[in-house]
Structure formats: structure tokens, C-alpha cells
Amino acid sequence: MQLVHTAAELDAALAEARAAGQKIGFVPTMGALHAGHLSLVDLAHSYSDVVVVSIFVNPKQFGAGEDFDRYPRTLDADCALLEGRADIVFAPAVEDVYPADLEVAAKQAGPVGSLFEGAARPGHFDGMLTVVARLFDLVRPDVAIFGEKDAQQLFLVKAMVAAEYPGLKIIGAEIVREPSGLALSSRNRFLNGEQSDIAEILAITLATVSQLIHDGMEIEAALGIGEEMIAGEPETKLDYLALVDPGTFARVGNGYTGDGLLIVAAVVGGVRLIDNHQFQI
């Protein structure tokens, strides 16, 4: 495994693979890796010959008062986890991704980018798309892997790629969960033991609400029950619980049939968590 920090080093590390016509797989991360990230890397090998993992905490997707400075930076531990899994780890500095002598085009997430996570974190998805596009330009992958836990992010990345990166394949990887059902997240490390137990309510609520809808309860009534479940937990503040059409990310309500994506976000003990569950209605 090679660890590189600059665009020039990345190009040199990939030169042989490009010359041989090998497929390049890419897993963009912000580090603080866990089993969920590693599952993305393993999946990337199914679609490519050489796998690049980036580790970069992107300042453009953190708003005022968010946890940019607090976000864990654990490069040595991350590289140890990636040894034997990734072929290249790309860990650039901010000035390598956004050099002073290069005007990096800012991306706009559009209307969907202002909903749900975008409403809670204004500008987040613009910054996310900007760095993803920049990393795509640097790595030039054939396939990129994103986790399905960040469903709105995945939706927006797919839309951008369809419009701007013909030939690039985007793969969504299934959510990896703790034995309790809690979706793995780098932010879970900020939860104490009691808060981790409380946070299980997100997955429990998704399972309960989807089952109620599957059994014939009206969507709005089922969502109301889910909201009450989460509101009843200590140290927990619900941001949203919604059912959306995964093809448009628009809210759907009573009478809807087809694919449904149930999404939730809540703050538990000061830690913002998201989760989702897709099912047929």
C-alpha cells in the first residue's frame, strides 16, 4: 500500500495502472475509519483492479458552529486498517485539494440540496459535491463507492455524475450496523455507553414505521408514531423523519405506492446521527 499526499504523487502512483488499462476504483472518506468504510473498500475490489482511498476532512462541507475542528483525524490508525485492503491512500492537505493558483469550481446541489440534511446544514451539499468533483478530477476513477447511509449525499452524487462524468460508475454500498442495529458512523465514537443505547431508537423506529406501512397503516399515521417513539427518548432531539421517493428525494404521503426511502436524523447527546431504510410500498 502506498501513502501519497499530493496530486503529483498520486499521478505517479497510478501511472502504471493507467498504462496497463487497469480499472481504478475510488472510495472517498474523511477518515476516522470503521468497519463500514472497510466494507466500501472491499466492495471496490469487486469492480476494479486498483483501489484508491482518499482521507480528507473537507472544510467546505462544514458550516459555522459545526464540528470541523472536532472531527477526528486518525491517519496512522486509518492506514493501519487499510493495509492489505487499499492499494493507494491519498491523504492530501487542504492546499493540495484547493491550491491557491487554481480556481476550483464550486458545485451547487440544487433544490434537493436544501432539503433534510441540507436544511439542517446549509451549504453542506454544495461543499460535498465540490470536493467530490475535485477528487474525481484528481483520481480519475472508473468506479466510485459510496455508503447508502448517507442517502441524500448518494442521490446528489449520482445526479452530478450523470450530468458531468460520463462513464464513471457509482456504486451504493449497504449500511453496516452495530449488533444493536445502530448504523456505523465516525461520530458514534462521541456517544457514551448510555447514549449509544439511546441511539438505537433510530433503527428501531425505521423498522417499526416501515412495518406499520407495509401492514397497511396510512403513511402519515405511521410517521407520527415514529416521531413519538424518538421524541420519548432522553437526550434526543428529532430533526426529521420522512418518507421520500428514492428516485426524486421528494416527500411522499398517504396513497403512495412504489419504492419508499424512510429517512431519519436526530441529535443524541449532542451528536447528529442519520439513518435510512428502503422498502417497497
* Residues tagged active-site: 37
**Which letter does DSSP use for residue 274 in this model?**
E
CA distances in angstroms from 26 to 99, 117, 206, 231, listed in the order given: 22, 24, 30, 39
C-alpha cell at 234: 432522553
Q: Is 64 left (phi over 0), alpha (psi -120 to 50) or beta?
A: beta
- Retrieve residue 62's grid coordinates: 462544514
Question: How far apart are the C-alpha atoms of 215 and 181, rounded to whole Å?
Answer: 22
Three cell numbers written together for 195:
447514549
User: In sequence order, what DSSP letters do the residues of 233-271 get, joined into one string?
Assistant: STTEEEEEEEEE-TTT--B--TT--SEEEEEEEEEETTE
> What are the distances in angstroms from CA 192 to CA 73, 149, 195, 235, 271?
19, 21, 5, 12, 10
